[in-house]
Structure 1
Amino acid sequence: MTTDAGKHRPRWRRILGSFWAQLLLAFLVAGLLLTFVAKPYEVPSGSMLQTLQVGDRILVNRLAYLATEPTTGDIVVFDADRTWEVSGATPAEPIRTALRWIGEVTGFGPSGPHTLVKRVIGSPGQSVACCDDAGKVLVDGVPIDEPYVSDDFPFEAGVLDCGTTPRSSRCFDEVVVPAEAYLVLGDDRSGSRDSAASCRSPVAGADCWRWASDTGLVGKAVAIIWPIPRWAALG
């Protein structure tokens, strides 16, 4: 039975008090949070082993780079441009497209076909090269410590390094990161199709590089949120 108080409530309050209106409001709030604040993503490949496993769901802070830029060591999610496309890719099927949409919204399911997760090594204007005498990556001439790297390319000073023939596949020539771009590598260094994937050859051209663009950055990966046994903060 409708009470007198219920009859005299403004119509907008009666509408907002309904189950369906509250459900819609909850979806709108969740959508705004996922779009502008934080969003889960599924790790699509093993290029970040052992830090990230295939299928891990990571939480991405979309506000992390509003006032600052990514720095060496940050794990970022970005939308890759055409230079990252895999040749021979098959057209998306309707069901797969729908699953990707669900994955983009919830993080539980496949993410976008060109959404990648890598680690930032070089920022705009920095020079990056590999390797020094110990086989380390140099950023602005300074070797960086990378305890997260797994399964790196073989390197042995004087036997298989950047001056021997053949040259170690770990090596790539010095490059200056362009404006509004980032040089990104995978932690599973020898198993990652990353910025330097086509440049680890003494005959590689200057156009071998591919970059994570500033406009394509989704945000900074800050935590593993699924599966539960792998809960952990990142970096």
Structure 2
Amino acid sequence: MTTTEHQRPRRRFFRSVWFHAALALTLALIVIAFVGQPSSSSMAPTLQPGDRLIVNRLAYLAADPAPGDIVVFRPGDDWERPAASGNALAAGLNAIGETTGLRPYVLVKRVIAGPGQTVECCDADGSVLVDGVPLDEPYVVQDLPFVAGDLDCTSTPTSARCFPALTVPDDSYLVLGDNRTNSADSVYPCRGDPDADDGCARWMMRDEVFGKAGPILWPINRWGGP
């Protein structure tokens, strides 16, 4: 058999419907594995509802999340999950994504502090403090009301921006949404409660981290960032 005769079955395979179907499926799985969606509007204006992100799943294989990183993670039992979809097809696809790990339910938040650090809010200017140092957060455009001497952490009622000093446990991270007025984040159960203690918070655990949020892939007019 000549070389040409050897090549013919291979060429027929590469031109076949089955090859193209397998290739399309492989590409689809790659896209599903690396593209995520931020949750609602909790990261606005940095991210908008409907933005599709490249999720770098390799970012934290040899490094830990750092303060300021926007991370994608699988929330634990302490975090609320949306009600199950009434659409059978959507529910089935969600179940497959969760089971295979290709497209699990995830949240997108910003890391504020890591293990051993202490976070509280607020100082006299309404800023979040990490280890006693106020954060500069230009990405927070929509914050909860705070007026020193009128609606702050000593007033009655207390500003909803306030939460007690929280020390981040080992292998844990305190994460917040950039849109503080609409973010069910680590300190959501603590906000505005003058009786809250350090047990009110919920943490992003190290083994729940799914990846680092990368560039916006879709829609086209928002390519790039965050």
TM-score tier (shorter): 0.7 to 0.9
CA drift of 1:155 comes to 1.0
Q: Which amino acid aligns with 1:81?
A: G
Mapped contact 1:45–1:54 kept (Cα < 8 A): yes
Q: Which runs of 5+ in 2 are unaligned?
A: none
Q: What residue in structure 2 maps to residue 65 of structure 1? A: 60
Matched, 1:136 2:130: no
CA drift of 1:24 comes to 2.5
Deviates more, 1:187-196 or 1:91-100: 91-100
Q: What residue in structure 1 maps to residue 47 of structure 2? A: 52
Matched, 1:41 2:36: yes
Q: Secondary structure of the residue that 2:108 maps to in structure 1?
A: strand
Q: Using the alignment, how far apart are the partners of 1:9 and 1:224 within structure 2?
A: 42
Q: Percent identity?
A: 48
In the TM superposition, 1:95-110 aligns within 5 A as 95-100=89-94
In the TM superposition, 1:185-204 aligns within 5 A as 185-200=176-191, 201-204=193-196
Cα offsets for 1:6-47 (capped at 9, x unmatched)? 333597x56864543465356447646864xxx111223111
Cα offsets for 1:198-234 (capped at 9, x unmatched)? 1011122433211111111111112111101111222
Q: Using the alignment, how far apart are the partners of 2:221 and 2:31 within structure 1?
A: 25
Distance 1:8 1:90, change over 3 A: closer
Mapped contact 2:167–2:198 kept (Cα < 8 A): no
Q: What residue in structure 1 maps to residue 216 of structure 2? A: 224
Q: What residue in structure 2 maps to residue 147 of structure 1? A: 138
CA drift of 1:59 comes to 1.1
The number of residue pairs the alignment matches comes to 220
Cα offsets for 1:48-95 (capped at 9, x unmatched)? 1111111111111111112221111111111111111248x3466431
Q: Using the alignment, how far apart are the partners of 2:147 and 2:139 within structure 1?
A: 20
RMSD (Å), alpha carbons: 2.8
CA drift of 1:4 comes to 3.9
TM-score by length of 1: 0.81
In the TM superposition, 1:201-220 aligns within 5 A as 201-220=193-212
Q: Which amino acid aligns with 2:55?
A: V
Q: Which amino acid aligns with 2:5?
A: K
Q: Using the alignment, how far apart are the partners of 2:53 and 2:154 within structure 1?
A: 40
Q: Which amino acid aligns with 1:96?
A: A
Aligned counterpart in structure 1 of residue 5 of structure 2, from 4, 7, 15: 7
Q: Which amino acid aligns with 1:132?
A: D
Matched, 1:118 2:109: yes
Deviates more, 1:78-87 or 1:60-69: 78-87
Q: Using the alignment, how far apart are the partners of 1:172 and 1:222 within structure 2?
A: 30
Q: What residue in structure 2 maps to residue 178 of structure 1? A: 169
Q: Using the alignment, how far apart are the partners of 2:12 and 2:134 within structure 1?
A: 62
Distance 1:41 1:32, change over 3 A: closer
Q: Using the alignment, how far apart are the partners of 1:16 and 1:67 within structure 2?
A: 40
CA drift of 1:160 comes to 1.6
Mapped contact 2:165–2:198 kept (Cα < 8 A): no
Q: Using the alignment, how far apart are the partners of 1:27 and 1:6 within structure 2?
A: 30
Q: Which amino acid aligns with 2:129?
A: L
